[in-house]
Structure 1
Amino acid sequence: MLKKQIAESLEQAFSELGFAEPSVAQLKNACGVSLRTLYKHYPSKEAMIVAALEHRHQRYLRFLLEDSPSAGTDAVLHIFSQLNQWMNDFAPNGCMSMNAIAAFPEHKLILQTVQQHKEAVRNFLGEQSLRTGLATQLFLLHESVSCTWPLLGEQATDAAKQTISSLFKEG
């Protein structure tokens, strides 16, 4: 249970402070544990980042499904409404996963964790749409919203939802 609480606190800390800036001492304080306890569960800053990303991944997918219609066009539009809310509430500086790669571009485990997250989101979008052939297109729209959010805000989500409506009308 403590390990999960630490991962949750790490997610919050990295979301607020970024990846390059916070020291392990700052992360320890954010988690409210001793340095020994933090290192017992996560023996390096990179391990802390992976834990934060994995925790965020699970929380993100649960968030996207909150109050969702079962599947199809309405479900996908709902997911993008949820994405809008997520970006507004939890990711005003853009995608945390991509920010992790920007800070640690050569770290294989961080890269692998982000790749797994992104692939899971792509598959999730295909499943929820009931049109697995559109999974990549929907994923690209999802990524566009999360990357352009700091510049465009809700305009990015609105444009993505218009494109989704067009995609589903065509097919």
Structure 2
Amino acid sequence: MSLQQDIASRLEQAFSHRGFAEPSVAELKTAAEVSLRTLYRHFPSKESMVIGALAHRHARYLDFLREGLPAPGKAALVHLFQRLGQWMKNDAPHGCLSMSAFVAFPGHPDIVDAVSQHKRDMIQLLAELSGRPDVAPALFLLHEGASAAWPLMGEHAIHAAEHAALQLTEGNLS
């Protein structure tokens, strides 16, 4: 892992635990375990720190979802929602970090682009896993709804979304 990736990983954890508004750059420097000069060399603004953290989390999340992934079809969708539940429990108990960034930095073009790319990649992954590009946007809404409802509903949100996804694709998946 490069120094920039290591810093992004630590920034991801800091933003995940503290949100985007609260930590100052000085606190982020401490969380990243680097000097202020090193932090700014790799991420020249707080917004670029957010984007770096989001990019790191995006890659980590996609790798996590793909771990142990069965062939496309019903089993792959079940796997995805089970992994989503594990992710929410262990890595995102407060909800989706991307959407939190989107809300914390409304209209910031680079942050909007990072969040939008993450969401487009999720739709593409759902299309691949289900083998049903025609219902991928609806599956995406179920995925997003489950992650948004997690802080209030916990595993019930995951189970409801998984059930709805299977109903949506019933009879058309192996």
Equivalent in the alignment of 1:126: 127
Once the two structures are superposed, residues 30-51 of structure 1 have per-residue CA deviations (whole angstroms, 9 ceiling, x without a partner) of 0100000000000000000000
3-state DSSP class of the match of 1:165?
helix
Q: Which runs of 5+ in 2 are unaligned?
A: none
Distance 2:92 2:115 in 1: 16
User: Secondary structure in 1 aligned to 2:15?
Assistant: helix
Matched with 2:36 is: 35
TM-score (norm 2): 0.96
Aligned to 2:150: 149
Match of residue 58 from structure 1: 59
Q: 3-state SS of the aligned residue for 2:95?
A: coil
Task: Tell me the residue number matched to 1:159.
Answer: 160
Question: Structure 1 unaligned runs (5+)?
Answer: none
Distance in 1, Cα, partners of 2:134 & 2:75: 17
Moved more, 66-75 or 79-88: 66-75
Matches within 5 A, 1:30-109: 30-109=31-110
Counterpart code for 2:148: C
Q: Percent identity?
A: 53
Determine the structure 2 residue equivalent to 1:20: 21
Counterpart code for 1:104: F
| Aligned equivalents of 1:126, 1:106: Cα separation in 2 | 28
* 1:134 shift after superposition: 1.3
Q: Determine the C-alpha separation between the residues in 1 that align with 2:32 and 2:111.
A: 20
The residue identity in structure 2 corresponding to 1:36 is R
Q: Which moved more, 1:28-37 or 1:103-112?
A: 103-112
Task: Give the TM-score normalised by structure 1.
Answer: 0.98
